[in-house]
A and B are shown apart, each in its own frame.
Chain A
Amino acid sequence: MSDEQDTTPMDRREALKVIATAAAAASLGDAALPSTADAQATVQIAPRRRPAAAAPPKTGPRGTPTDPDLLNARANWPRLLSAPELATLTALCDMIIPADDRSPAASTVGVPAYINEYVSAPYDWAERSLVRVRGGLAWLDVESAKRFGKQFVQLTVAQRTPICDDICYWMTAKPEFKAAARFFGEIRNLTQSGFYTSDAGMRDLGYVGNVPLAKFDAPPPEVLRKLGLA
């Protein structure tokens, strides 16, 4: 996924950086705070004995798949799902994670784009996943047409629901729905991954970490009480 797909303005990361620096400064004491230049000097390498003919050593990531630039990451492969496929996928993702009073729907935080990135990835497993997802999306339209004479995107939520009910769990699905249920399970898994790694999703769950702290506190008393540890 990329930053732009999230609902939160992108200053979160910047803000975190500032907090991190502040926390480091606080714990280091001003006098001891290494300036960036200082810190770099200590790890800079001067290959004095390096043979003159050799090229100077390259520093920093080379941008290859095994040495990517971690700070400026991009999933730079072409996306393979078509616009109509994405529309069907979007409708399905929002059936799986709709908006409620605590957080928005899956599509609002860019989940369909993540799934497109996933099935289009340059790996063997993605190639197989692409087949399943395409097949599943096509099946949804066929099934929708059978039941309601329309494509899945054109159905109301009330019409989509019986279809989803039939395929929402592979273990209990009827034999004729097993394959579709596998597809549904895969999309649910990916939708949850995409949604709960977004800011909105993390907030929904009450994940409150990834912030620099001067001190790590013991679990709050209400947690200990609930666990019978107080």
Chain B
Amino acid sequence: MAAYQLAVAGLKVLVLEAGRTYDPVRETPMFKLPRQAPLLGAGTKHKPFGFYDATVDGGWEVPGEPYTNAPGTDFKWWRSRMLGGRTNHWGRISLRMGEYDFKPKTRDGLGADWPLTYQELAPYYDRTEMLIGVYGGDDDLENTPGSPAGVLQPAPVPRATELLTKKHAAPLGIPVIPAHLAIMTQRQDADVLPKKIHPDNPLAQRVLAQSMRQRAACLWATPCGWGCSVKANFQSTTVLLPPALLTGNVDIVPDAMVREVTVDATGKATGVNYIDKTTRTDRKVTARIVVLAASAGETARIMLNSKSSLFPNGVSNGSGLVGKYLMDTVGAGIGGQIPALENLPPHNTDGASGMHMYMPWWLYKEQLAGKLGFARGYHVEFGGGRGMPGPGIFGGMDALTNGAYGKRLKEEARRYYGSWMWFDGRGEMIPNEDSYCEIDPNVVDQWGIPVLRFHWKWSEHETKQAAHMVKTFAEVIEAMGGTVNEKVETDGAKVIAAGGQIIHEVGTCRMGTDPKTSVLNQYCQSWEVKNLFVTDGAPFVSNADKNPTLSILALAWRTCDHILAEMQRGNI
């Protein structure tokens, strides 16, 4: 986002990317079938989310680039090494943070407040949604803000499983509303939108219009996580980099592993040093402004590794808070088998590959009144139905059929196909002192760069929330007349996903109003190094249940506006 915004504003931008170049138009395995892949496309340690997943040199491990865990910690760090990073295969769930989410401490006394309000970020949400293309409904619920008319694309029609869930969740008081995903259900209006998004900027309007004309609407087939060659969903590589490159203002250097931000005697950033992976040599580039967007973990790592006499603990780390207040999303889920869904007449349920509906958090009042025993909420992602058969299909059928085989197995398969559903909670974690990353003094990666060591602890707010999730999902499944697949745990610590596992790691360079208790100001600008900015998840002060990427994009845009204003004022 930053490369795009700065380039259309006329700045010369050099993008250093640790991974290889990646072209979704040519590389996406659209319409491939599991049987055309090794092991039917199943996940392996090399491709954890499946063979076709649009992750290059990544997953829970990156070859030659380890990280470590402190004793007792099992943090999982998902990375990918490719142009566009994890936006090539993310889930595209794009929820706005709400009013409460920016001021959590004011509301319940826990964690910390953001130095900005929802109202201040809202215009950037509007423009980001128009720019990237997000579908959603017109609901405007408590702390689940709607978007102004004309901003979102129409939500896709719900699937049968989603309608059935909505019907049976309603008596339990759980709302089921259209999901918001960065997928285009119709083509963008290239004649109108660019002018709305970039008033007064003819260059931006021109390149954006050209780029929008090359994007098709969703084909209602093929998994988004494999990437999208018709550019119907949001990936940096299909949506932001093409118009950025059209300006002629952007150069991209792939296989460039940044290891350090350099500073001069006055404490200004002068550029970065990086390892050119193809030649294994160290390189130096200079710049007027340095923007870090390497993901929350990597950005902290670069800062901590940027030691100088002015910044002995790492650049911009006078507060000692770089790496601190690392957060992930609370995750727990459960599945069930729903007899009503057996033997359904064949029909196409592929849709936009992701959810068409979801459940926003609905118990704000009960929670504030202290009735739940945990302080923050979660939303629910769910699904099921007659999707494309993959490896492991019918893994749960043995128990239902007493081990059917032969012709009976085939009949049972026809009956049970599409009758399973899953429910996953995605909840807010409160930042704590025990969850952080730091440099491991004993370990370097294959480029000689010291690696991160993680420390992690959930508090009872998170484990109790996880227990509430599975209990609630079991109730929904039972209300639908179904049976849960497994025992419903009452101890949340037994069902909560490991730290990092939900892949929403944020924090590590939080913003604030006071340089003593934050690393960045409200514009994601370093308190100590005026021409150093951060535009990934590192500036997050809290981690609302809303998946982070839409907010990362909106904040990055706001940061770029601030950079331009500061340059105009002659401050940087």
User: Which residues of A are interface residues toward B (Cβ below 8 A)?
Assistant: 1-3, 5-6, 13, 16-17, 20, 23-24, 27-28, 32, 34, 36, 38-40, 42-51, 53-55, 57-62, 64-68, 70-71, 73-75, 95-98, 100, 102-103, 114, 117-118, 121, 123, 164, 168-172, 181, 184-185, 188-189, 192-194, 196-198, 201-202, 204-213, 215-220, 222-224, 226-229
How many of chain B's residues have a CB under 8 angstroms from any CB in A?
A: 106
10 contacts between A and B (CB under 8 A): A28-B187, A45-B251, A197-B393, A205-B386, A209-B349, A210-B221, A213-B221, A216-B156, A223-B160, A229-B167
Q: Which residues of A contact B25 (CB under 8 A)?
A: 36, 39-40, 43
Given contacts A47-B252, A71-B29, contact A59 B347 (CB under 8 A): no
Q: Which residues of A contact B203 (CB under 8 A)?
A: none
Stretch at the interface among B30-38, B117-125, B313-321: B30-38
Extra contacts besides A123-B44, A212-B220, A223-B344 (7): CB < 8 Å: A38-B214, A45-B251, A97-B409, A193-B392, A218-B158, A219-B159, A226-B340
Within 8 A of A (CB), among B45-103: 45-47, 51-52, 56-59, 62-63, 83
Q: Which residues of B contact A229 (CB under 8 A)?
A: 160, 163-164, 167
| A229, B164: Cα distance in complex, Å | 7
Q: Which residues of B contact A51 (CB under 8 A)?
A: 276, 283
Q: Which residues of B contact A43 (CB under 8 A)?
A: 23-25, 237-238, 241-242, 245
Q: Are A117 and B38 in contact (CB under 8 A)?
A: yes
Given contacts A48-B251, A68-B47, A205-B414, contact A96 B344 (CB under 8 A): no
Q: Which residues of B contact A210 (CB under 8 A)?
A: 31, 33, 221-222, 350, 388
Q: Are A74 and B38 in contact (CB under 8 A)?
A: yes
Q: Which residues of B contact A198 (CB under 8 A)?
A: 35
Stretch at the interface among B304-312, B398-406, B468-476, B518-526: B398-406
B411 CB to nearest chain A CB (Å): 9
Q: Which residues of A contact B392 (CB under 8 A)?
A: 189, 193
B11 CB to nearest chain A CB (Å): 14
Of A2, A24, A54, A216, which contacts B351 at CB under 8 A? A216
B440 CB to nearest chain A CB (Å): 23
Q: Are B403 and A118 in contact (CB under 8 A)?
A: no
| A228, B167: Cα distance in complex, Å | 10
B258 CB to nearest chain A CB (Å): 15
When C-beta atoms are compared, the residue in chain B nearest to A23 turns out to be B219
Q: Is B374 an interface residue (CB 8 A)?
A: no
Q: Are B40 and A197 in contact (CB under 8 A)?
A: yes
Q: Which residues of A contact B29 (CB under 8 A)?
A: 70-71
Q: Which residues of A contact B346 (CB under 8 A)?
A: 206-208
Q: Are B160 and A71 in contact (CB under 8 A)?
A: no
Q: Is B266 an interface residue (CB 8 A)?
A: no
Q: Is B390 an interface residue (CB 8 A)?
A: yes
Of B33, B83, B395, which contacts A197 at CB under 8 A? B33
Q: Are A208 and B347 in contact (CB under 8 A)?
A: yes
Q: Is B39 an interface residue (CB 8 A)?
A: yes
Q: Which residues of A contact B62 (CB under 8 A)?
A: 66
Q: Which residues of B contact A23 (CB under 8 A)?
A: 219
Q: Are B350 and A201 in contact (CB under 8 A)?
A: no
Q: Is B279 an interface residue (CB 8 A)?
A: yes
| A181, B413: Cα distance in complex, Å | 20
Q: Which residues of A contact B569 (CB under 8 A)?
A: none
Within 8 A of A (CB), among B334-375: 340-341, 344-352
Q: Mark B283-296, 1 if CB is under 8 A from A, else 0.
A: 10100000000000
Q: Is B254 an interface residue (CB 8 A)?
A: yes
When C-beta atoms are compared, the residue in chain A nearest to B223 turns out to be A210
Q: Which residues of A contact B216 (CB under 8 A)?
A: 24, 27-28
* 8 cross-chain pairs, A with B, having the tightest CB-CB distances, nearest first: A169-B403, A206-B346, A75-B38, A209-B350, A42-B242, A168-B403, A65-B46, A212-B219
Q: Is B536 an interface residue (CB 8 A)?
A: no
Of A13, A34, A123, A184, which contacts B45 at CB under 8 A? A123
When C-beta atoms are compared, the residue in chain A nearest to B211 turns out to be A42
When C-beta atoms are compared, the residue in chain B nearest to A36 turns out to be B25
Q: Which residues of A contact B246 (CB under 8 A)?
A: 42
Q: Are A59 and B35 in contact (CB under 8 A)?
A: no
Q: Is B255 an interface residue (CB 8 A)?
A: yes
Q: Which residues of A contact B38 (CB under 8 A)?
A: 73-75, 117, 121
Q: Which residues of B contact A103 (CB under 8 A)?
A: 410
Of A42, A212, A223, which contacts B347 at CB under 8 A? A223
Q: Are B389 and A207 in contact (CB under 8 A)?
A: yes
Q: Which residues of B contact A47 (CB under 8 A)?
A: 251-254
B329 CB to nearest chain A CB (Å): 25
When C-beta atoms are compared, the residue in chain A nearest to B356 turns out to be A216
Q: Is B217 an interface residue (CB 8 A)?
A: yes
When C-beta atoms are compared, the residue in chain A nearest to B254 turns out to be A57
When C-beta atoms are compared, the residue in chain B nearest to A45 turns out to be B252
| A224, B405: Cα distance in complex, Å | 31
Given contacts A27-B216, A189-B392, contact A220 B345 (CB under 8 A): yes
| A2, B38: Cα distance in complex, Å | 8
| A114, B42: Cα distance in complex, Å | 12
Q: Are A118 and B220 in contact (CB under 8 A)?
A: no
Q: Is B479 an interface residue (CB 8 A)?
A: no
Within 8 A of A (CB), among B153-206: 156-160, 163-164, 167, 187
Q: Which residues of A contact B341 (CB under 8 A)?
A: 227
When C-beta atoms are compared, the residue in chain A nearest to B226 turns out to be A70
| A16, B32: Cα distance in complex, Å | 9
Given contacts A223-B347, A224-B163, contact A68 B386 (CB under 8 A): no
Q: Which residues of A contact B413 (CB under 8 A)?
A: 192, 196, 204-205
Q: Are B187 and A27 in contact (CB under 8 A)?
A: yes
| A164, B406: Cα distance in complex, Å | 10
Q: Is B27 an interface residue (CB 8 A)?
A: yes
B344 CB to nearest chain A CB (Å): 6
Of A50, A68, A194, which contacts B253 at CB under 8 A? A50
Q: Mark B222-255, 1 if CB is under 8 A from A, else 0.
A: 1000100010000001100110011000011111
B390 CB to nearest chain A CB (Å): 6
Q: Is B105 an interface residue (CB 8 A)?
A: no
Q: Are B395 and A189 in contact (CB under 8 A)?
A: yes
When C-beta atoms are compared, the residue in chain B nearest to A5 turns out to be B35
Q: Are B406 and A95 in contact (CB under 8 A)?
A: yes
Q: Are B405 and A100 in contact (CB under 8 A)?
A: no
| A54, B251: Cα distance in complex, Å | 15
Q: Which residues of A contact B35 (CB under 8 A)?
A: 1-3, 5-6, 194, 197-198
Q: Are A193 and B40 in contact (CB under 8 A)?
A: yes
Q: Are B23 and A59 in contact (CB under 8 A)?
A: yes
Q: Is B422 an interface residue (CB 8 A)?
A: no
A153 CB to nearest chain B CB (Å): 17
A43 CB to nearest chain B CB (Å): 5
B42 CB to nearest chain A CB (Å): 8
Q: Are B160 and A102 in contact (CB under 8 A)?
A: no
